[in-house]
Structure 1
Amino acid sequence: MNTNKSKEIFEEAKKSIPGGVNSPVRAFQSVKKDYPIFIESAKGSKLFDEDGNEYIDMIGSWGPMILGHNYPEVLEVVKSEMEKGTSFGLPTKKEVVLAELVKECFPAIEKIRLTTSGTEATMAAVRLSRAFTKKNKILKFEGCYHGHSDSLLVKAGSGLLTFEHQDSNGITEAVTRDTITAPFGDFEKIKKIIEDEKDIACVIVEPIPANMGVIETSKEFLEFLREITRKKNTVLIFDEVITGFRISLGGACEVFGIQPDLVTLGKIIGGGYPVGAFGGKKEIMDLISPVGNVYHAGTLSGNPVSVAAGIKTISILKENPEIYKTLEKRTKELVSKIENLIQKYEIPATVNYVNSLFTIFFAKDKIENLEDAIDTSDEMFAIYFDTMLENGIIVPPSKYEAHFISYVHSDEDYEKFYFALEKAFEKIKNSL
């Protein structure tokens, strides 16, 4: 496969962009590649690079492309909206429509504020929690990623883990002191922390972690968090930037039947365009300016193009519940075939999945937390990534990320995936 143009572009990119990329995982360094592929266009389940190579996309822009790239109905709405204007810096009716649509799907959200990104949404939700409780500290979980705001980068997942860091430079000691971390799923340790610490404003959690690879969550754990935070007057935040509208119309809140105090959203609510949101109980949300004194602002918050794309995407999902059933069925079948190949080639690997996202971990035992994920094989994952890429399949360039499938992935796409996967497992078997 010829990727010379991507190589040339990368060399130019490094002259003006740190590392040649605008988000670290894109550099492909963790999969031992000299340069990343540069994408020129996308359609349906496919990506096309600058050299004209076609790839079956198993990343889906990290989640939002649940309907595939440039889904015709969404694209039509976006084109129409762009003709009216792309940014006003003033409110629009469609912002209200999207807010009401999200509220219908998430009963925990009584009021909502739109942002430009998931990072902004989680940052604002934490600030709001501190104002509401008049407390300072936050509790987060090792390996859960909530964007790159200072307090949430302590022992985070995603790209931070990919580059073998659990914290980022540039964060003050004061911020670190106010951020408490705990192992995901550790009931006893979490209980002790919350009971001993009197100054915890919020507990923020990915209800289904997907930034140290997909970690399957028990309902009992989330119920435990809900009960203990309510008892201690601590705000419970569900970060559903990935899971919201991806695993079900009402995200993990619906799947587990648990109502947090605040929810953060992103990805799909913009239909693939830049957007984020945070929402929850009225008495908390009404602390936000201009009603209250918690400041949050953004020129591009509620951008008309993103909002229009989000309204159309969510409406399609809402009107066609079979989409979720199809995605769940397809993922279950896919995972079953992956597991069969793991047994056939006696590969030390396991698969975690929830609805339409999954992670292949190269380790024998089930992966349940950050330490388990870190212990998985970098070498096997690099072989897997490289072989899939050579065979026209683009999978996450990090062992700590999730694969995402879309509604428009075809039978032929899946067959090509299995074919490439078998080649990858053959190479891994020969390397053992």
Structure 2
Amino acid sequence: MHYDKSIKAYEKAQNVIPGGVDSPVRAFKSVGGTPLFIKKGEGAYLIDLDNNRYVDYVQSWGPLIFGHANKTIEKAVIKAVKKGLSFGAPTKAETKLASLICSLFPEMDKVRFVSSGTEAVMSAIRLARGFTCKDDIIKFEGCYHGHSDSLLVQAGSGAVTFGCPSSPGVPADLTKHTLLAKYNDIKSVKECFKNSKNIACIIIEPIAGNMGFVPADPKFLQELRTLCDKHGALLIFDEVMSGFRASLKGAQGIYETVPDLVTFGKVIGGGMPVGAFGGRAEIMDNLSPDGPVYQAGTLSGNPVAMAAGLASLEQIFKDETLHVRLEKKAKRLVEGLKDAAEVSGITLQVNAIGSMFGFFFNDKPVKNFDDALKSNTQCFAAFHQGMLREGFYFACSQFETGFISDAMSDAMIEETIEAAIKVFEEIA
């Protein structure tokens, strides 16, 4: 394959955009090579500027559960655009989408829309602090909840650390209220409560997608629920990735644990920038204008984004076998990759839930971020480059999740596995 036009586009972009990209992982720094500049998407495929065609296992990092340029979503967006791009005023579409989401979750009375997952998480944490009148939060090493200041915290030594900033520009005075615990390790969480009597909430990806694909242990989640109830803290599920992806009800359709607040994103926008957070009325009613916790956004509930979200969710709701089909394909893919790797003497750890999947070049199962960091990132980079040459687009980091779309056929999955056999042989 030739990448001449992408290379030129990247060189030009670096002159006016920091790093040439608007989100760091897109720069391909961890896998090498030049980031592909995309011209268009069609169903399961991406087409770059050089007209190379790839089966896309990124799907815009999750939202495109029906693939690129889905006709139903496209039609809904065009219809909405013709009425106006933005009003900064309420529309009935917001109420309709909120009602659709709340209808799935008996414990969720109200939802508020924002424009991104970062906004959703930031707002949910502010609400948790306002509701509990406490300042500290617990997050887990390897879980990413957006780039707001109090969540950009690096792991320290030991099981639990009061966070210090992992990025310049983030004041230590903000991150000192963030306590770090180890994913799937309840002892580290108990240490946090031992060290602070001022904990407002625990926030967790119940199915982690940003240290690679790492599901939480069901018992661990239930123990988090017990600790929150004991100490008067709220439990927040970050389902920006897993919401409507892992199952119709996201992680909550798989685990029995009930959170106090949930953050959504990705799929509920159908490819448009949408996020949301929701919970019980007694908590949500603390938001302005009903309560004292302030949160706002001019583009929140944008009519075009609401139209895309409605068109996406309504398709999901109508298709009772959707997640069964997607999980079957996801499991076939990762099992095929695992078998292909073993033929070449490469050990691969794999997992899939619903339309989400992941794999690690690792000798042992991955249960937390420490385990994930022991993965062979050089092997992953070689795999990524090799699969691109074969026409298959995977996430450009070992520590990201992959996604299956309904536009993918069984034949595409088998073609991917066949290509992987060749690439693994080259790596070996």
Q: Shared fold by TM > 0.5?
A: yes
Amino acid at match of 1:118: G
Q: Map 1:145-224; keep pairs closer than 5 Å.
A: 145-155=144-154, 167-224=166-223
**Alpha-carbon distance in structure 2 between the residues aligned to 1:404 and 1:224:** 29
Amino acid at match of 2:236: I
DSSP-derived class of the 1:55 partner? strand
Which residue of the partner structure matches residue 285 of structure 2? 286
1:52 Cα shift? Answer: 1.1
Q: Which runs of 4+ in 1 moved over 2 A?
A: none
Work out whether residues 41 and 47 of structure 1, in 8 Å CA contact, stay in contact via their aligned partners in 2.
Answer: yes
Structure 2 unaligned regions, length at least 5: 156-163
Amino acid at match of 1:153: L
Which residue of the partner structure matches residue 23 of structure 1? 23
DSSP-derived class of the 2:81 partner? helix
**Alpha-carbon distance in structure 1 between the residues aligned to 2:403 and 2:255:** 21
Query: For 1:94-121, what per-residue CA distance to the aligned partner results, in whole angstroms no more than 9, with x for missing partners?
Result: 0000000000122232111000000000
DSSP-derived class of the 1:373 partner? helix
Work out whether residues 331 and 351 of structure 2, in 8 Å CA contact, stay in contact via their aligned partners in 1.
Answer: no
Which residue of the partner structure matches residue 118 of structure 1? 117
**Alpha-carbon distance in structure 2 between the residues aligned to 1:25 and 1:196:** 34
**Alpha-carbon distance in structure 2 between the residues aligned to 1:359 and 1:332:** 10
Which residue of the partner structure matches residue 161 of structure 1? none
Which residue of the partner structure matches residue 39 of structure 1? 38
1:79 Cα shift? Answer: 1.0
DSSP-derived class of the 2:301 partner? coil
Which residue of the partner structure matches residue 9 of structure 2? 9
Work out whether residues 115 and 121 of structure 1, in 8 Å CA contact, stay in contact via their aligned partners in 2.
Answer: yes
Query: For 1:379-414, what per-residue CA distance to the aligned partner results, in whole angstroms no more than 9, with x for missing partners?
Result: 101110000000111101101001111111012311
Amino acid at match of 1:2: H
Identity %: 45
Q: Map 1:14-413; keep pairs closer than 5 Å.
A: 14-33=14-33, 35-155=34-154, 167-413=166-412
Query: For 1:192-216, what per-residue CA distance to the aligned partner results, in whole angstroms no more than 9, with x for missing partners?
Result: 3224410001100000101000112
1:166 Cα shift? Answer: 8.3
1:258 Cα shift? Answer: 2.0
Work out whether residues 143 and 155 of structure 1, in 8 Å CA contact, stay in contact via their aligned partners in 2.
Answer: no
1:378 Cα shift? Answer: 1.7
Work out whether residues 106 and 254 of structure 1, in 8 Å CA contact, stay in contact via their aligned partners in 2.
Answer: no
> How many residues align structurally?
420
Work out whether residues 361 and 375 of structure 2, in 8 Å CA contact, stay in contact via their aligned partners in 1.
Answer: yes
**Alpha-carbon distance in structure 2 between the residues aligned to 1:168 and 1:58:** 29
**Alpha-carbon distance in structure 2 between the residues aligned to 1:239 and 1:296:** 18
DSSP-derived class of the 2:207 partner? coil
**Alpha-carbon distance in structure 2 between the residues aligned to 1:6 and 1:324:** 35
DSSP-derived class of the 2:208 partner? coil
Work out whether residues 206 and 240 of structure 1, in 8 Å CA contact, stay in contact via their aligned partners in 2.
Answer: yes
DSSP-derived class of the 1:290 partner? coil
Point out the more displaced range, 395-404 or 344-353: 344-353
DSSP-derived class of the 2:241 partner? coil
The alignment's TM-score, normalised by the length of structure 2, stands at: 0.96
Structure 1 unaligned regions, length at least 5: 157-164
**Alpha-carbon distance in structure 1 between the residues aligned to 2:188 and 2:212:** 22
**Alpha-carbon distance in structure 2 between the residues aligned to 1:133 and 1:353:** 36
Work out whether residues 327 and 352 of structure 2, in 8 Å CA contact, stay in contact via their aligned partners in 1.
Answer: no
**Alpha-carbon distance in structure 2 between the residues aligned to 1:417 and 1:379:** 20
The alignment's TM-score, normalised by the length of structure 1, stands at: 0.95
**Alpha-carbon distance in structure 1 between the residues aligned to 2:58 and 2:114:** 23
**Alpha-carbon distance in structure 2 between the residues aligned to 1:6 and 1:407:** 28
DSSP-derived class of the 1:139 partner? strand
Work out whether residues 130 and 201 of structure 1, in 8 Å CA contact, stay in contact via their aligned partners in 2.
Answer: yes
**Alpha-carbon distance in structure 2 between the residues aligned to 1:253 and 1:352:** 18
Q: 1:342 to 1:70 in 2, by over 3 A?
A: same
Query: For 1:337-368, what per-residue CA distance to the aligned partner results, in whole angstroms no more than 9, with x for missing partners?
Result: 12211221110221122222112211111111
Q: 1:144 to 1:166 in 2, by over 3 A?
A: farther
Amino acid at match of 2:184: G
